Amino acid sequence: MKTDKHKRKTKHAKLARNRSDPMIEEKRRLYRSRRDRKIAGVLGGIADFFGLDAAFIRILYVIATVLTGFVPLTFLYLVMVFVIPQAPKQRPAGG
């Protein structure tokens, strides 16, 4: 007879297996952030997508921009502003 503890372990193992299955995984999309933005939300959106802190991404971006002579990454940022869609508005939880 299976115990309740064994049933919970089995259930969690199945859930973990399903999360790692690429066919079941939810499709992630890159959006410009609505809540974590300084200029247009591009770097905040990239940070959300990769699960990193936005300040870390911003520091890396500034260092890379300075090292590349400003123009290439400034141009890339402007392109990303127009190419990456803005995150959809969040619906209220109670509504």
Q: Along the 95 residues of the chain, how does pLDDT read in single tens digits? A: 555 555 555 555 554 555 555 555 678 899 999 999 999 999 999 999 999 999 999 999 999 999 999 999 999 999 999 999 999 988 777 65
Instruction: Please report, for the chain, the start and end positions of each structural domain, with discontinuous segments joined by +.
Output: 28-88
pLDDT of residue 93: 72
| Alpha-carbon gap, residue 89 to 77, rounded angstroms | 22
Identity of residue 74: T
| Alpha-carbon gap, residue 5 to 56, rounded angstroms | 41
Q: CA separation (Å) from 50 to 35, 68, 72, 73?
A: 16, 23, 22, 19
pLDDT of residue 27: 86
| Alpha-carbon gap, residue 43 to 54, rounded angstroms | 7
Closest CA relative to residue 44, chosen from 56, 26, 27, 62:
56
pTM (predicted TM-score): 0.68
